[in-house]
């Protein structure tokens, strides 16, 4: 991104008063019209404006001015800034070109369908729309709802992929975890763990007892007299 001249008219006033540069050179450097620079020299333009020295703010050097004074066809070059000033963050909704404003409802429909976790404020930042428009698209009450087609806002040029991914990441941080994940990752207290272990141990012991009872053979009680009587009856039958 090319550096921009600070206070062009004030800089032109200083160059007119303190250098021998031509009007064309000053106009080209300060992005002004040559007639405007001539008006500054005649006192018809920029009355009351105090000149700004481009040497002090580091946007021009004395050597560059001397080159321009020696050659009227030479065009001054702005010095590289020694300190980079961070661009101010955009406030309010994103500006959308007029040629693409009709595509915003399509982008809203795509975002609502594919990223329901996004909040209205996030969609407003991405697309540059209003909350009422988002609600009408979501509720299918938009005046042109029958003709809307879900389209990726990145493809439409309404936002960049990096901005979309950032908003989706922010929204996913506050989203609740699924129930199955919550159940699997829940930590039990010591009391709950001991109680659960005790219940499982009792259930295992009860099952073991049932199995042992099933495997244990049943012993019937026998009467000794009845046994001997049967043996005697069998012996008498053999003798006969």
Q: In this predicted structure, what is the pLDDT of residue 178?
A: 47
**How many Cα atoms within 13 Å fall on the side-chain side of residue 2?**
4
Show Cβ contacts of residue 60 under 8 Å, excluding neighbours closer than 6 positions: 29, 54, 76, 78, 79
Q: Are 9 and 46 in contact (CB under 8 A)?
A: yes
- Spatial separation of the C-alpha atoms in residues 45 and 23, rounded to whole Å: 14
Q: In this predicted structure, what is the pLDDT of residue 67?
A: 92
pLDDT tens for the chain, 240 residues long, are 456 777 888 999 999 999 999 999 999 999 889 998 988 888 887 777 888 899 888 888 999 999 999 999 999 998 876 655 555 555 555 555 555 667 889 999 999 999 999 999 999 888 888 889 999 999 999 888 888 899 888 888 888 888 888 888 888 876 554 454 444 445 555 666 666 666 666 655 665 555 555 555 544 555 566 666 766 666 665 555
Q: In this predicted structure, what is the pLDDT of residue 180?
A: 44
């Amino acid at each position: 991104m090319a550096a921009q001249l600070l206070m062009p008219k004030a800089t032109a006033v200083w160059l007119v008063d303190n250098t021998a540069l031509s009007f064309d050179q000053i106009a080209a450097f300060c992005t002004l019209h040559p007639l405007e620079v001539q008006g500054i020299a005649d006192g018809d333009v920029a009355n009351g404006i105090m000149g700004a020295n481009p040497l002090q703010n580091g946007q021009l050097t004395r050597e560059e001015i001397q080159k321009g004074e020696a050659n009227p066809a030479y065009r001054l070059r702005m010095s590289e800034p020694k300190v980079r000033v961070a661009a101010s963050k955009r406030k309010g909704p994103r500006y959308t070109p007029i040629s693409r404003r009709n595509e915003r409802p399509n982008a809203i429909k795509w975002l609502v369908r594919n990223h329901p976790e996004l909040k209205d404020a996030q969609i407003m930042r991405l697309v540059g729309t209003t909350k009422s428009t988002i609600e009408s698209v979501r509720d299918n009450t938009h005046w042109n709802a029958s003709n809307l087609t879900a389209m990726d806002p990145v493809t439409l040029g309404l936002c960049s992929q990096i901005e979309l991914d950032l908003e989706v990441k922010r929204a996913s941080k506050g989203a609740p975890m699924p129930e199955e994940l919550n159940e699997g990752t829940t930590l039990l207290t010591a009391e709950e763990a001991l109680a659960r272990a005790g219940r499982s141990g009792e259930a295992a012991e009860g099952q073991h007892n049932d199995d042992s009872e099933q495997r244990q053979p049943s012993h019937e009680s026998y009467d000794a007299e009845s046994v001997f009587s049967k043996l005697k009856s069998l012996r008498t039958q053999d003798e006969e």
